[in-house]
Structure 1
Amino acid sequence: MKKSIFTFALTAFIIATVLVSCQDTSKKEEQARDNVEDARRDLDDAKKELSDARQAATAEEWKSFRASTDSTIRQNELQIAKMKANMKNKGKSIDAMYAKKIEELEQKNNNIKLQVQAYKNDTNSDWEAFKEEYNRDINELGTAMKNFTVDNK
């Protein structure tokens, strides 16, 4: 009798486990569809956030930025011209390294000028990244021009 009760209990347990673990496939399918829909909503939210982050500069902000950029580039050009004039006026023999450094500074300034001219202020452009890169480049150029006559030897 004990053996038959034990067998019956074991059989009932196995049947209950199988029935509980086997969900209806329509429930699984519905759950998978819900997960896909949630993922799509999350993707749409992420795209919107990216779009907001990459907004183009307003027309007024771009005009102001462009004016200050042109002014800075002109100042750099004048400073480079003064360096070239000082090199000629002092009557020293022109050091090739000095002339090469002036040429490098002039090339960096021209590259920055071309970057600004090539930038298209639209929604596909990353305005903040462009400003950050421009400011970094212009600061490096300014530091190089200040340290131009410093000899580190």
Structure 2
Amino acid sequence: MKCPFCSHPDTQVVETRESEDGGFIRRRRRCASCDKRFTTYERPEVNFPAIVKKDGRRIDYERSKVLGSMRLALRKRSVSTELVDAAVERIEEKLLTLGQRELPSNRIGELVMAELKKLDKVAYVRFASVYRSFEDVDEFRAVVDEMGR
């Protein structure tokens, strides 16, 4: 693997660890040229369903988009990165077990909301307000009241 610092093609694996759930392998590497260390992650390559947007466009599933939207909702909230990563893993498992070649984007939004609801109530309301395009305070109140039940 090429070094991300100096682009030297020769790097050595210093340490290898499997994640707790076995979903990926973490490798610490050292560059033979600049001696800097970096981490790589190996994940199995899987085919996620194509995402059908509201306007009918089809796009590839991107983990970074799901992770980014969750991090934005969780901004300044005390939820660990490990918990967020685990939530994204659960979303991806559900996407794969559905066995569909295409999936409407609102289905992913619902899966994200379900995971945020478990992680942090404030983040859930934040995400819901944008995702459901709240127009007034009554819509916020309805979601907050739902959380109290």
State whether TM-score is above 0.5: no
Pick the structure with more helix per residue: 1
- For the aligned pair, the TM-score class normalised by the smaller chain equals under 0.3
Q: Calculate the TM-score normalised by the size of structure 1.
A: 0.25
Q: Calculate the TM-score normalised by the size of structure 2.
A: 0.26
Pick the structure with more strand per residue: 2
Structure number with bigger Rg:
1
| Relative contact order higher in (CA < 8 Å, ≥ 6 apart) | 1
